[in-house]
Chain A
Amino acid sequence: MKKMAQNIEDVVADSASAGRVVPRRLPRIANRKQTAIAGFVLMAPSLVFIGLFVMVPIVYVVYLSLYKSNLLTPHPKFVFLQNYVQLFTDVDFLGSLKNSALLSGGMLFLSLPIGCLLAALLNMRLKGTKFYRTVFFAPYVLPLVGSGLVFTLLLDKDNGLVNHVLALVGVPPINWLGSSHTALLSVMLVSLWQYSGYYMLIFLAGLQNVPQSLVEACQVDGGGRLKSFIHVTLPNLTPTIFFCAVVCIIQSFQAFDQVYVMTDGGPNNASSTLTYYIFHKGFQMYDIGSSAAASVILLILLSILSLIQIRLGRRWVVEES
């Protein structure tokens, strides 16, 4: 802040020392066209690369989804919507879609409340808050591949820590990664460990925007700590909660690394997610048509979500003009 003030002074000093009378109106109008051109020139590098590696591929993937092909055949066959029809009769695809939905749901109902609770506790500004914040947030920056490996070991049927601890209270060993009932849950544990601290940080930022006077007013009126949290703090956190929910669903639908490392989508497709299905079909089975069709469905889902987010975002992202 101090530095910025200094810079403003510098600018003012510069223009003063230049000592010339600036004809204010003329150059501004003359500049307008120039600045418009400059605006486009400055955007150009980003637009070219985003166009080439985001926009063109989207169009291309829609095109590919209408053809039966693989990378080796020279003449793909136009089949119109047949790939899509096949997808919705493919149990593997429907299973992956269901798994992605379950993963999102699980994260929504576990990770978000955990993040919110931790944020509320950190917001009490107790001793050691900084330490706790570091510990909870650190997993977010770690490579998912590494976390996936560690959890594979933790959840190992015969030698994993989790089963050892469960054995102490008499639970027989569970085949976490090898059973179709628990494989998806195991994958979710990694996401939970990795992302809860991230949501905590966002909630913490949200909590600091809740007007303290309102909370105090509620408490003066005889509301307890819990009551004021539910009736004042939470309603004020609505934008934050919506933001986290959308990010959480988007993040869950993109889950790939954990699945690839821990279960390979197995057993029997029980932990395959939508992105894993796309990868598996396209990169391992060379069934480009089905993979592209599944990509289009993923893109439609994600763009609906991000449109919701942009709409809601307008309310609280600073929009200057």
Chain B
Amino acid sequence: MKKFAKLERTSAHVVLIIAAILALIPVYWMVRSALATNTDIFDPHFHPWLVDFDWRNFAQAWSSQPFPIFFLNSIASSFLIVLCQLVTSTLAAYSLAFVEYRGKSVVFFCILLAMMVPMQATFIPIYSMLSSVHLINTYGALVLPFVGSAFGIFLLRQGFASIPKEMIRAARIDGASEYRILWSIVLPNAKPALITLALLNFVYHYNDLFWPLVATNTTNMRVVPVALTYFLNQDAGEGLQWNHMMDAAIFAVLPVIILFLFGQRYFVRGVAGTSIKG
């Protein structure tokens, strides 16, 4: 391949640096506002850096709402969803990838279609179904709708496709049960796909605002994204506490950022792998 000329490389760097600065400005502004005093935020004399900062903001914001409960709810419900999905999706993906039976392509087609149905289009029926069994405002309501996942099946099926079929056939000839094949051959070879699904899913449900907003209605059942919107409604007394709002945003973002930095290659795999294969 022709080497890129110096001019080309420099101009590419310039564009990339400008784009990176634009991408980082919201992050910088979040941190800056989180540390600033409210008088600083509302200072009419504009200065992009911090004049005066106060670490106590974080402590004040943390104690202004029951954050430990929000985090417990968020993490526990997302974790339960991930666990359930890993089980149901692994079984289904195994069935689609390695077992031959009639009607399989119909099942797969339905799964592809189900993947596109957004919660916002079906939340009323789901709400009334769950409310008729008195599950609204419980972990059941937060978790049950996501136990089966079309996306999870799709992703794992792609991951399983790289396992050679000869291996499965050989094991069957040896008389291994389906359960044994799944446990000792497929799972050990599909670890990256499983980790990808777990991470993508955890982050997706941890970030989700819509369903928890609908499915819960008391403070002790709320999750972190819903709690963030509380800061918008405190307009009454002292005006919006912008610095505390940004502190809370940082609390919310931190777990996701940590997961992302440690598991970046799995996120990349998940995104690139579901789009184009082959």
> Do A and B bind?
yes
C-beta contact mask, B88-104 vs A, less than 8 Å → 1, else 0?
A: 11011011100111101
Residues from chain A with Cβ under 8 Å of B161 in the complex: 318, 320
Chain A residues with a Cβ closer than 8 Å to the other chain, count: 123
Asked if B92 contacts A42 (CB within 8 A), the reply is: yes
Q: How far is the CB of A21 from chain B (nearest CB, A)?
A: 11
Report if A306-B116 is in contact (Cβ < 8 Å); known contacts: A150-B249, A278-B121: yes
Which residues of B have CB within 8 Å of A239? Answer: 276
Contact present for A45 and B88 (CB under 8 Å): yes
Q: Is the CB of B148 within 8 A of A250?
A: no
What B residues does A28 contact at CB under 8 A?
172-173
Given contacts A12-B170, A15-B170, A306-B113, contact A261 B185 (CB under 8 A): no
A73 to B271, CA, bound (A): 45
Contact B99 A141 (CB under 8 A): no
- The answer to whether B42 and A159 touch across the interface, beta carbons within 8 angstroms, is yes
B99 surroundings in chain A (CB, below 8 A): 35-36, 38-39, 42
Q: Hey, which chain B residues are within 8 Å of A204, CB to CB?
A: 272
A61 within 8 A of B: yes
Residue of B nearest to A213 (CB): B1
Partner-contacting stretch, out of B11-19, B56-64, B65-73? B11-19
CB neighbours of B125 from chain A (8 A): 56-57, 60-61, 64
**Within 8 Å CB of B129, what residues of A?**
52, 56-57, 60
Cα-based distance from A22 to B170 in the complex (angstroms)? 11
Task: Check A27 against B275 for contact (C-beta < 8 Å).
Answer: no
Does B128 sit at the interface, judged by CB under 8 A? yes
Interface residues on B, range: 35 or more
Kindly state whether residue A81 has any CB partner on chain B within 8 Å: no
Q: Is A169 located at the chain interface by the 8 A CB criterion?
A: no
Contact between A261 and B150 (Cβ–Cβ < 8 Å)? no
A134 to B264 alpha-carbon distance, docked (Å): 8
Residue B33 at the A interface, CB < 8 A?
yes
Per-position 1/0 for B112-124, Cβ under 8 A of A: 1111111011111
- Is A283 part of the binding interface, using a Cβ–Cβ cutoff of 8 Å? yes
Query: Do the beta carbons of A216 and B2 come within 8 Å of each other?
Result: yes
CB contacts under 8 Å to B, within A6-33, are 7-8, 11-12, 14-15, 18, 22, 24, 27-28, 31-32
Q: Which of A88-96, A102-110, A179-187, A292-300 contacts B (4 or more CB under 8 A)?
A: A292-300
In the complex, A126→B99 CA distance in Å?
A: 45
Are A43 and B171 CB-contacts (below 8 A) given A36-B100, A136-B19? no
Judging by beta carbons under 8 Å apart, are A132 and B118 in contact? no
Q: Are A305 and B116 in touch, CB under 8 angstroms?
A: yes
A residues within 8 A CB of B228? 143, 145-146, 149, 261
Check if A149 sits within 8 Å of B249, measured CB to CB.
Answer: yes
Q: Is B252 an interface residue (CB 8 A)?
A: yes
A299–B275 Cα distance when bound, in Å, is 22
Instruction: Judge whether B193 is part of the interface by a CB distance below 8 angstroms.
Output: no
Residue of A nearest to B128 (CB): A71
B23 at the interface (CB under 8 A from A): yes
Central interface residue in B145, B206, B249, by most chain A CB within 10 Å: B249
With A49-B148, A303-B113 in contact, do A216 and B276 touch (Cβ < 8 Å)? Answer: no
Contacts of B122 in A (CB 8 A): 53-54, 57-58, 60-61, 295
Does A212 count as interface, using CB distance less than 8 angstroms? yes
Contact with A along B233-268 (1 / 0, CB 8 A): 000000000100110010011001101110010011
Q: Please give, as numbers and ranges, the residues of chain B lying within 8 Å of A283 by CB-CB distance.
A: 123, 214
Contact among A42, A167, A282 for B178, CB-based, below 8 A: A42
Which B residues touch A36, using CB under 8 A? 99-102
Using a CB–CB distance below 8 Å, which chain A residues touch chain B?
A: 3-4, 7-8, 11-12, 14-15, 18, 22, 24, 27-28, 31-32, 35-36, 38-40, 42-43, 45-50, 52-58, 60-61, 64, 71, 114, 117-118, 121-122, 124, 126, 128, 131-147, 149-154, 158-159, 161, 164, 167, 193, 197-198, 201-202, 204-206, 209, 212, 215-216, 219, 225, 239-240, 243-244, 247, 250, 253-254, 256-257, 260-261, 275, 278-279, 282-283, 288, 291-292, 295-296, 298-299, 302-303, 305-307, 310, 316-318, 320
Known: A43-B107, A310-B109. 9 other contacts (CB 8 A): A40-B101, A45-B147, A46-B92, A47-B148, A204-B272, A240-B275, A275-B120, A296-B121, A303-B116
Residue pairs across A and B with Cβ atoms less than 8 A apart, 16 shown, are A11-B167, A35-B100, A42-B178, A45-B87, A45-B91, A46-B153, A49-B144, A50-B114, A57-B129, A60-B122, A124-B9, A137-B271, A153-B33, A239-B276, A250-B116, A279-B123
